[in-house]
Structure 1
Amino acid sequence: MSASSNAVRSLSVGQRYRAFTHRNLDELTARAGLSAEERLAVQAVAQVLPFRVNSYVVEELIDWSAAPDDPIYRLVFPQADMLPAEDVSRLVDLMREGTGSLELAAYVREVRARLNPHPAGQMELNVPRQANEEALPGLQHKYQETVLFFPKQGQTCHAYCTYCFRWAQFVGDADLKFASKDIAPMVDYVREHEEVTNVLFTGGDPMVMGEAVLSRYIEPLLDIEHLEAIRIGTKSLAYWPQRFVTDPDADDTLRLFEKVVASGKSLAFMAHFSHPREMEPDIVQEAVRRIRSTGAVIRTQAPLIRGINDDAATWERMWRTHLRHGLVPYYMFVERDTGPQDYFAVPLASAYDIFQQAYRRVSGLARTVRGPSMSATPGKVCVDGVMELGGEKVFMLHFIQARDAALVGKPFFARYDEHATWLHDLKPALGASRFPWEADLSLGEAANLPG
């Protein structure tokens, strides 16, 4: 083991994971300098949206001298204006009357229902079914090559991002959860569908699971010949890098990664990094080094989030840092149409400007990144530019992925709208009456297609 590895281990030996939840919010937001009324408003928002942070994020990543405006603080702590003011006011009143009241619980459910908890048809359109038409729990198959699996033990994270489009998984409402603890139906499904070349473990965060549990999910896939890659979607490198360096089963986890690669399959570690500061601690860089040493490829992705990373310099710095450490920039996403989207959303025109400015400042090695990309109902739609055609200002877009594979890679156009933040805000351009994916729909169905 290298001297640098020993140094990182010595700094972190004995550090155990400690989570902070809504019960700790008053203490932590007081540390950020919020008044009593401001803290109560934040706690009201946390009745609706999930909150979880840990000791590493609190002590190593947040600049408390800059809180509550610090980007990492904003990344993990609820803000009072994430919900409409009238909702926050009503929640505060109900909390003062008694936090255990049935009326409070009912109002919380009402507010959550208005936040589009399952965007892009996650609970209806993406779930494959068995021969008897029974839905396969915890499984999604939106694009022909890729199956998503949601392991039940991975339905939490080391800390929660305030922008997370999977927020509904974490609020404790069984009707909003989507997961399975049974790997066998998924393995059988993949065996039967030879078009599936990738399985993505997602959640939540699969890396909250210990190696013994993770192995039970991954190893049955290794002898499926047509399966080419296993992906793990995770924020653990940013929020708990100890998972790969000093946790008790860190070495066993890395040996599991080696086993995947030795089986002849690609292991793609889909790491979420939302801000350059998340890569600064030595232990993160050591975790990256150790994962890469197994043969796994680390690809990085994040949404563009207003108030956190909505400038080109931040993305340029992030992509340059990732490249320096051997990570592959992969996606800049558009904030999805769920949860507090209005709080975080960046207009598509601004998103394209930010992407293009950052993209042109990095070398070709970092231009593996794609975006800004919307993971919408018909597929992953990339904004390629703004141009004028036939006297009309338009967005040029294309499908990176699509439910209808024939649409992949084909450009299409939408009227320019400086305020549009999502696909459903756009209108067809250049005389078209509908978009390509609406061709087989009636006009009424097309108008009601969710984003």
Structure 2
Amino acid sequence: MTLVNDAVPSTERSTGRKFRAFTAKHLDELTVRAGLPPEQRLAIRAVATVLPFRTNSYVVEELIDWSAVPDDPIYRLVFPQEDMLPADDVAHIGDLLRRQAPRQEIEAAANRVRMRLNPHPAGQLELNVPSFGDGAVPGMQHKYDETVLYFPKQGQTCHAYCTYCFRWAQFVGDPDLKLAGDDTTQLRDYLIAHPKVTSVLFTGGDAMIMGEPVLRRYVEPLLDLEQLESIRIGTKSLAYWPQKFVTDPDADAMLRLFEQVVAAGKNLAFMAHFTHPRELEPEMVHRAVRRIRDTGAVIRTQAPLIRSINDDPAVWESMWRTQTRMGMVPYYMFVERDTGPQDYFAVPLAQAHEIFSDAYRNVSGLARTVRGPSMSATPGKVCVDGVVELGGEKVFVLHFIQCRDDALVNKPFFAKYDPAAVWLDDLKPAFADRFPFEDMVLPSR
């Protein structure tokens, strides 16, 4: 394969806008642009001491409709909102900021709030970290037999943070909450010792925040492993910085690395995170998608269902149609995870299934590759298949797409209908005393 299609002239590459990040220190000047009053801006700064904030010039200038702020969906995707956290917490931290309290006092208050937000859902720090050789493998998660997640040390940030991100704990500067590894030899040795592993997912943060030489250092040692069928890259870069694949200095080198993965006989799965149709509109995104697909990589799309941002079947129908037309493969609709400001963003499971079904029935079979709504819960990925009446009782029908116990995969089970339930832990078993996964013995690694 060669990168001849949609080539980028050197003049465009040299004159294109460079990446510029905005962090919490820029919040006040950005929210002034939104026309927000001082007290509201202070409250937003208070939330940003607890939850991380980062965006960039592309998001600010190309995606946000500033005339519609604060209701604009892209603004809400990246800017903290004052009601994301309990009012008392926001007021307390806001008061500390107002009187310019010592930094240590502000950080201590923020950390107390963080610890109540379930920073590592699904037992990530306890249940998924494999042991190998002298002990735990830093930066690795191994929940299902066939898939290993790896968190490269240099990939523990993003081009911009989503306000709902379930990985938010990676970005708050607490080393006890961070997953990160940089020993590629250990990663390779672990895979060889676990031949059931057929797929490696590089995640973070965002693996595509890394430059080509760094990503190559993680990927290249894996290419001669016969057991590996696929290498996945989890990323929001296509939505938040598509220049990465078009005008950035190492764009061509990155795409040559993608070609090398495909030439080695691996399925390169580019797991693109799109949350709203507007992220698909810029021509730069279309060019980036074409260039990635020209390498032989497959772009699969996924996102959570987020209240006030995409909780409308028309939004999902539009995304799936556009993604299919662009040659991408709709993959997952997720349920907002039980971490961070879940209460602010969560959509009840019954409503989530209605939204999914209404969008799903209006797209062609090519877009019906998508699955959901799916919860990445402690026992596995649980899909809500519907609400039915059985034996005079209204129940949820669910099944595991993935499970720690693979004997439970794709077997239906039932939960009592609860219109307010937003997560697996909110549900109670129907027609049984216990859910089938409650007797699961978690496998050791």
TM-score range, shorter chain: over 0.9
1:361 maps to a residue whose letter is N
Q: Which 4+ runs in 1 deviate beyond 4 A?
A: 1-9
Cα deviation for residue 14 of structure 1 reads: 2.8
Equivalent residue for 1:383? Answer: 384
2:35 to 28, 33, 36: 33
Cα distance in 1 for partners of 2:7, 2:184 equals 35
Structure-2-length-normalised TM-score: 0.96
The answer to whether the aligner puts 1:57 opposite 2:65 as a matched pair is: no
Which residue, out of 96, 108, 111, partners 1:109? 111
Q: 1:78 is aligned with what amino acid?
A: P
Post-superposition CA distance 1:58-96 (Å, at most 9, x none) = 000001110110000000000000000000011011112
Aligned to 1:127: 129
The corresponding residue for 1:165 is 166
Q: Secondary structure at the match of 2:136?
A: coil
> Cα deviations across residues 116-162 of structure 1 (Å, max 9, x unaligned)?
00000111100000144x11100000011000000000000000000
Mapping 1:264-413, distance limit 5 Å? 264-413=265-414
Structure 1 residue 13: Cα displacement:
3.1
Q: 1:355 to 1:326 in 2, by over 3 A?
A: same
**Structure 2 residue aligned with 1:199:** 200
Within the alignment, does 1:256 sit opposite 2:267 as a pair? no
Q: Deviations over 1:393-447 (max 9, x none)?
A: 00000000000011110000000000000000000002x1110011258xxx9xx
Q: Alpha carbon RMSD of aligned pairs, Å?
A: 1.6
**Mind listing any 5+ residue stretches in structure 2 that lack a counterpart?**
none
Counterpart of 1:417?
418
Distance 2:73 2:10 in 1: 26
For the Cα contact (< 8 Å) 1:5–1:286, is it kept in 2?
no
2:20 alignment partner, one of 18, 21, 27:
18
What is the number of equivalent residue pairs in this alignment? 440
Q: Which residue of 2 aligns with 1:435?
A: 435
For residues 167 and 222 of structure 2, the distance between their equivalents in structure 1, rounded to whole angstroms, comes to 25
1:436 is aligned with what amino acid? P
Asked if the contact 1:310/1:346 (under 8 Å) is kept, the reply is yes
TM-score, normalised to structure 1, is: 0.95
Distance in 2 between residues matched to 1:88 and 1:24, nearest whole Å: 19
CA contact (8 A) 1:33 1:68 kept: no
| SS at structure 2 position matched to 1:124 | helix
Change (3 A) 1:3 1:401: closer
Q: What is the rounded CA distance, in whole Å, between the counterparts of 1:111 and 1:51 in structure 2?
A: 16
What is the distance in 2 between the residues matched to 1:154 and 1:300?
A: 20
Say if 2:8 and 2:247, in contact at 8 Å, map to a contact too.
no
Distance 1:13 1:257 in 2: 25
Which residue identity does 2:48 align to in structure 1? A
Other structure's SS at 2:369 match: coil
2:80 pairs, out of 74, 78, 81, with: 78
Q: Aligned partner of 2:434: which letter?
A: R
Alignment check: 8 A CA contact 2:6 2:291 kept: no
Alignment-derived partner of residue 43 in structure 1: 45
CA–CA distance in 2 between the matches of 1:373 and 1:340? 18
Deviation, 1:2, is 7.7
Quick check: 1:235–1:272 contact (8 Å CA) kept in 2?
Answer: yes
Structure 2 counterpart of 1:176: 177
More divergent stretch after superposition (27-36 vs 229-238): 27-36
1:87–1:265: structure 2 CA closer, same or farther, 3 Å change rule?
same
> Quick one: which amino acid aligns to residue 161 of structure 1?
C
Unaligned runs of 5+ in 1: 446-451
Q: Which amino acid aligns with 1:34?
A: L
Give % identity.
72
Contact 2:148 2:197 in 1 (8 A): yes
Pairwise CA distance, 1:102: 2.6
Q: For residue 65 of structure 1, give the secondary structure of its aligned residue in structure 2.
A: helix
Q: C-alpha separation between the residues in 1 aligned to 2:283 and 2:169? A: 33
Look up the SS of the partner of 1:122 in the other structure: helix
SS in 2 for 1:331: strand
What are the superposed Cα offsets for residues 242-290 of structure 1, whole Å, 9 maximum, x if unpaired? 0000000000000000000000111000000000100100010000000
Return the alpha-carbon distance in structure 2 between the equivalents of residues 338 and 145 of structure 1: 26
Q: Is the 8 A contact 1:375 1:381 kept in 2?
A: yes
Amino acid at match of 1:106: A
Deviation at 1:11, TM superposition (A): 8.9
CA distance in 1: counterparts of 2:101 and 2:71, whole angstroms = 28
